[in-house]
Amino acid sequence: MKKEQVVHCQFSVWYPIFKKHTIKSLILPLPQNVIDYLLDDGTLVVSGSDHNAHDRTYIHNIDSDAEEDVQWSDDETTTTVTAPEFPDFTSKVLEAINALGGRVFPKLNWSAPRDANWIALNSSLQCHSLSDIFLLFKSSDFITHDLTQPFLQCSDQDSPDPVINYELVLRKWSELIPGGEFRCFVKENKLIAISQRDYTQFYQHILKQEEQTCQAIQEFFSQHIQYNFLDEDFVFDVYRDSQGRVWLIDLNPFGEVTDSLLFTWEELTSGGEISQQQECPAFRYTTSEVTVQPSPCLSYRIPRDFVDLSTGEDAYKLIDFLKLKKSEQEESDEEESSPQ
């Protein structure tokens, strides 16, 4: 995977080419002061309110020994952190959101904050204001990767990094059923593999419509995608709706920076059985509820130790956890039995 391939997979590069076959979207340049705000770990408040409401502030009493209530004043021992404001950018974002029906799906040049939906009130990436977007972006490792290390896994590390103009992408909100999403792998302009996108779940309709789904995606690729993109090797995501129509959702580099889902990158790049199939691409999907797995985004949602405990991946952590609970219970029993 070359840096040039990563550049070509930016939304603003491929969207004009395939605009007729994807969801309506608007692209706004991301000002440098907004980028700085998104990368500032010390800024806990969320800006971008769609109204001139009261600034969201946090008051921190510096004197840690004081046990009095926090005083809402300009006292020297009190620090007030105020959300930064971006009035011009906020106005443009709100105008774009309204133009797209009032509900949008946000992303940057490459990534969406899929790892941060847990922090939203409705656990959704649906946004109605800039503050909704900022909350997701500042909580997302995927967004931080876009802003700081977009060429991390490229093979041509010795070459200078291309200049990136960062953009906020707002896509018209659409209710997509996860079972209708598929990831497609293209090598030398040939569709070699298709994977169920939400591979952690079993969807019976995929099992029943395997042949129709595969055929619909192949036809969509040959009619609208093949030979029209800037690279010969790439990955694209599609959605097949209830009417059988296929829509382009996203394009990604052909390399390990992109999740290979039910395939391995060794399979996809080795030139073996998958690459040599002539008639149709390899199609993989979850075939039964027995193979259902937890979502990989769970590791972004809660501490990894808790994920290990819940899945039983680390028996020693479970033993330590049980010992801790037993110790706490014994201490509690001793306190209750001690004379008052």
pLDDT tens for the chain, 340 residues long, are: 999 999 999 999 999 999 999 999 999 999 999 999 999 886 555 665 554 433 333 334 334 444 444 444 455 555 566 778 899 999 999 999 999 999 999 999 999 999 998 887 778 899 999 999 999 999 999 999 999 999 998 999 999 999 999 999 999 999 999 999 999 999 999 999 999 999 999 999 999 999 999 999 999 999 999 999 999 999 999 999 999 999 999 999 999 999 999 999 999 998 777 766 667 899 999 998 765 555 555 544 555 455 455 445 555 556 666 667 677 677 666 666 665 5
- Helical spans, DSSP H, in the chain: 3-8, 11-18, 32-39, 87-99, 130-137, 141-148, 204-208, 210-220, 265-269, 273-276, 298-301, 304-311, 315-337
Tell me the two tokens of residue 39: 């990368």
d(CA 201, CA 290): 10
Whole-model pTM: value is: 0.76
What is the reported pLDDT for 275? 66
What is the reported pLDDT for 79? 57
What is the reported pLDDT for 192? 95
Nearest to 176 by CA among 111, 250, 110: 250
Tell me the two tokens of residue 277: 């199939």
Tell me the two tokens of residue 191: 């569709």
Burial label for 220, CB within 10 Å (0-12, 13-18, 19+), is: buried
3-class SS of residue 317: helix
Nearest to 6 by CA among 113, 155, 115, 106: 155
Exposure string for 162-187, b = 16+ CB within 10 A, e = fewer? eebebbbbbbbbeeeeebbbbbbbbb
- Match 């209710």 to its residue by tokens: 175
d(CA 55, CA 241): 42
Query: Strand 246-253's sheet: what is its strand order?
Result: 246-253, 234-240, 181-187, 190-196, 282-284
What is the reported pLDDT for 319? 67
What is the reported pLDDT for 5? 96
What is the reported pLDDT for 85? 86
